[in-house]
Every structure is written in structure tokens, then in C-alpha cells.
Chain A
Amino acid sequence: AQRVTQPEKLLSVFKGAPVELKCNYSYSGSPELFWYVQYSRQRLQLLLRHISRESIKGFTADLNKGETSFHLKKPFAQEEDSAMYYCALSGAGGYNKLIFGAGTRLAVHP
């Protein structure tokens, strides 16, 4: 079964601290993994894709197939990073449908 697990509902850090939002997945084939973000009172938007291997707003995420993980990391958190982060998987089913994790709320305190 396809599943995305984000074990932490809330991650609270101070400004300048490192951040790691955990994501584990279950999928039998070759998945494509994504991180979507939702800032306060805004719509959900794409943050990054594992395929592009890019860094967006200082965030990076590496796909670890051995550990079936796609953790989101940032070395120095900023207050504006406070948001809801969703890990998502695209695989079977066609039409590029996404399976979302439960989400982790990141709160960065001054």
C-alpha cells in the first residue's frame, strides 16, 4: 500500500536552529517524492521535488531508498519558515495523483 508518514505533528525550534522534518514512505515501485508547504492563510504550494535535487529557501531533501525516507532539512531556521509542511508521494494510479502525509507544523520562535 502507498503511504506517507510524518511522525511529528508539531516541530518547535528557535530562530537559527537546524530543522529536520521527517517523512517516511511506503511504496513498492519507484516513487517520486515532494514537499508542499502551506503558510498561514495561503494555499498549498510546492516547495521542492526530489527529482530536481534543488534547494529552495534553504531547504533540501534527499531521497533515501534504503530507509524509505525523504526528510526535509534546513541548517538555520527563520521565522518566516513557520508553516505547515506536507510530504507527498506520486507513484501508481496515473495522472500524477499525490498521496499526502499528515503534515508537520513548524513553529520558529524568535
Chain B
Amino acid sequence: GAVVSQHPSRVICKSGTSVKIECRSLDFQATTMFWYRQFPKQSLMLMATSNEGSKATYEQGVEKDKFLINHASLTLSTLTVTSAHPEDSSFYICSASRPSGAPGTQYFGPGTRLLVL
């Protein structure tokens, strides 16, 4: 159990367009989901924490108007990269925690590779 999926797995878009990435918890309800960004050969950088039914909490330096997060249900969170530019190209990973789960235990999605031309 505790499977998290992401869609799409990879996306290529033109500069200036918006891209939506979905993160779903398939077999459990996730009250909290997290969005990370990973540059090549670097660690995961937490972008924001998403809670169902409330506004996301963004980490310092992350533009909330640039990276729109919506957590409309207990199994779905979306990240929209608005007006994407080449510097937004990266690997975006989501994770989810279970309400009854051990603190700090997160279940990760497979990631979405975004390439902005």
C-alpha cells in the first residue's frame, strides 16, 4: 500500500505556456502532500507543503504565483508551473504522508521531468 502516482511522467512545452502536474495517492488519503524540485545530480529541494482544503505553504524563495498548488481532495494535489521558462526545466517530485503514518514518513511519486524550450 501507500502508492503515489504522478502525471505526466515527462512533458515538453514552449516557453510562456503553463504546465500542470498531478500527484495522486492511489490507495490512501493524504492530508498532506509535498512538492519538491530536483536539479541534475542535486538533492531534493522542498518547494511547498500542500494541505487539503487550505492554501499551500511555500518555502522561502519559491514564488507562489509562479508555482500554483491546489489540493482539492484527499487524494489529489496539482502543481501548475505558470508561464514556464527554460530555467523552470527540472525534475518535480511529489510525496504524500498518511494521517496515521509515522512522523516524517513520506511516500514519493516517480517524478515528472519538465523541459521548457
Contacts and interface: CB of A to CB of B under 8 A. Distances in A.
B104 A34 contact: yes
Interface stretch (B14-22, B40-48, B73-81): B40-48
Contact of A51 (B49, B51, B102): B102
A13 to B, nearest CB: 20
B32 A102 contact: no
B31 to A, nearest CB: 9
Contacts, number: 54
Contacts of B93: 44
B97 A86 contact: no
A49 B57 contact: no
A96 B51 contact: no
A81 interface: no
Decide if the interface of chain B is mainly helix, strand, loop or mixed.
strand
B104 A90 contact: yes
A97 B103 contact: no
A86 B102 CA distance: 18
Classify chain A: how many residues form its interface, as a range: 20 to 34
B106 interface: yes
Nearest to A33: B104
Given A101-B43, A102-B42, A95 B57 contact: yes
A49 to B, nearest CB: 7
B74 to A, nearest CB: 15
Which residue of A52, A100, A101 has the most chain B CB atoms within 10 A of its CB atom? A100
A49 B104 CA distance: 9
Nearest to B48: A97
Contacts of A90: 103-104
* Cβ-closest 7 pairs across A and B: A90-B104, A44-B108, A102-B43, A43-B108, A100-B44, A100-B43, A43-B110
Given A43-B4, A90-B103, A95-B97, 10 more contacts: A32-B103, A32-B104, A34-B105, A44-B108, A45-B108, A97-B49, A98-B104, A98-B106, A99-B46, A102-B43
Interface of A: 32, 34, 43-46, 49, 51-52, 86, 88, 90, 93, 95-103
